[in-house]
Structure 1
């Protein structure tokens, strides 16, 4: 029996993974300052950050104008490897239809896309800024408290750089509030195709996300963050590694991801600490039916 992976399978697998990875690329990774080239093989990467400047007044006529001295700085991102591996039985490979092989390819691509988001979410969640204490469910009041605090950070608020992440239960809790659910408040100019799970409200693009940090069963950390103040890198390896395992009589297919993330200017993020299992409350603070 030949121990060479069928050429057609290898080529179609690689093409399918690349297509799926591009089509289903992680949402959170795309909201921060990101880089997807030159990552493979690099233990760390350097990105440059512009400082904050303020205007000055000329001391007198014909005097030199004081410079802003905004400065420039560098940040170093340490990268790590993640792997998405799966066995495909040789007999199954012969029997697989094209659609079955696509499923195998999709699994690896989806796993890599989720890993990219996980790197960014973990880094954002490392902030020491928070609102709430996990005692109540997600509410408009908690969201307003977070956005009020964020306004004090003096980040630009007219460039669409603020994003919010809520877990599925917290998202549904927020949908019981007319301010969050109604088109009268959120409008229809949304930046993603899947508009059902995106709301642009109160200067923030809110998204439903299933990969948030949960310190305990009744605790979840939603996140409010300024995307341009967070750097992330991530690159999928070129071709998949496909090799024969004689003991298992199967092909091992492995995809590799090199990635990392870092908050490079503080403060730039706030945890929204809520209880995802709390009862749903609506506009009048009464249980939703």
Structure 2
């Protein structure tokens, strides 16, 4: 391979492999949100509508106009970057392991950032909808989980199964101690099922998530979130742009990976925050 073909070759190769890796690792919250309906300028747009209530018809009376809540929610796109250097004279001298690791690292960094900013948005969006009880002594018990679900059912009105709840490792294993939860169905057809442990129980798609995604309130107490898919929006350009360039002065190939992504609360009433002790004992039941 001649020197002047390196940038063109590496750009194509990296673009194909990084997008594939991103789709299969590092983005466990993929599919838990509503995508935008349009993109205008630098803004992503979601449509919203209010609550309709049937009114009694009375002859000769003027009809009452409803659904004044129709509108849009807009958010400016943000771009995230991963920049790496490959210190090799030529990319075709890299071993398979070195190349694969470089691709995987960049893809998973983007995936972790997507998970991080989505959870940060939930932390803001669910600020006013904290569950009525906390479990700062016993952690994630089956009874407490049922209480959180009951609150969600009251808030969401319609319980159709598009409800998600990631848990940190301690809480996940506390729940796995209950046969009702551990023997529940796996979540089929969602990207997260290929990236982490999942269960479908009592109308909720539960998933094991990295501990660092959960806000620490105080001591061992952390906040978790349960939400309806229609309550949360996330916009992404769905493809990672990659530019690979040979730097002749430094004898390295630089790889610049960028991807757009931004979350947005769409319906606060479709979110529930609950607080647990993340250090409570795991007791099989």
Residue of structure 1 equivalent to 2:22: 21
8 Å contact from structure 2 (residues 36, 46) kept in 1? no
Counterparts of 1:213 and 1:10, CA distance in 2: 36
Change (3 A) 1:52 1:29: farther
Residue of structure 2 equivalent to 1:203: 203
Counterparts of 1:169 and 1:124, CA distance in 2: 20
Q: Where does the alignment leave 5 or more consecutive residues of structure 1 unmatched?
A: 284-289
Change (3 A) 1:35 1:103: farther
Counterparts of 2:137 and 2:5, CA distance in 1: 58
Change (3 A) 1:202 1:219: same
Counterparts of 1:141 and 1:59, CA distance in 2: 48
Question: Secondary structure of 2:29's partner?
Answer: helix
8 Å contact from structure 1 (residues 143, 272) kept in 2? no
Question: Secondary structure of 1:163's partner?
Answer: strand
Residue of structure 1 equivalent to 2:73: 75
How does the TM-score come out when normalised to structure 1? 0.83
Counterpart of 2:267 (choices 254, 265, 268) is 265
Question: Secondary structure of 1:252's partner?
Answer: strand
Residue of structure 2 equivalent to 1:286: none
2:85 matches 1:84:
no
Counterparts of 1:252 and 1:274, CA distance in 2: 44
Counterpart of 2:145 (choices 134, 143, 146) is 143
Question: Secondary structure of 1:10's partner?
Answer: helix
8 Å contact from structure 1 (residues 137, 278) kept in 2? yes
Aligned residue pair count: 276
What is the 5 A alignment of 1:44-123?
A: 44-60=43-59, 66-69=64-67, 71-91=69-89, 93-123=91-121
8 Å contact from structure 2 (residues 81, 258) kept in 1? yes
Q: Where does the alignment leave 5 or more consecutive residues of structure 2 unmatched?
A: none
Question: Secondary structure of 1:29's partner?
Answer: coil
Per the TM alignment, residue 108 of structure 1 is displaced from its structure 2 partner at its CA by 1.4
How does the TM-score come out when normalised to structure 2? 0.84
Counterparts of 2:231 and 2:224, CA distance in 1: 18
Counterpart of 1:153 (choices 145, 152, 155) is 155
Per the TM alignment, residue 27 of structure 1 is displaced from its structure 2 partner at its CA by 3.0
What is the 5 A alignment of 1:114-193?
A: 114-126=112-124, 127-128=126-127, 129-131=129-131, 132=134, 134-158=136-160, 160-182=161-183, 186-187=184-185, 190-192=188-190, 193=193
Change (3 A) 1:91 1:130: same
Counterparts of 2:16 and 2:194, CA distance in 1: 24
8 Å contact from structure 2 (residues 10, 244) kept in 1? no
Per the TM alignment, residue 10 of structure 1 is displaced from its structure 2 partner at its CA by 2.6
Counterparts of 2:174 and 2:90, CA distance in 1: 45
Q: C-alpha offsets along residues 199-250 of structure 1, whole Å, 9 cap, x if unaligned?
A: 1111211111115223256233221111111111012565412234456432
Question: Secondary structure of 1:253's partner?
Answer: strand
Counterparts of 2:38 and 2:68, CA distance in 1: 29
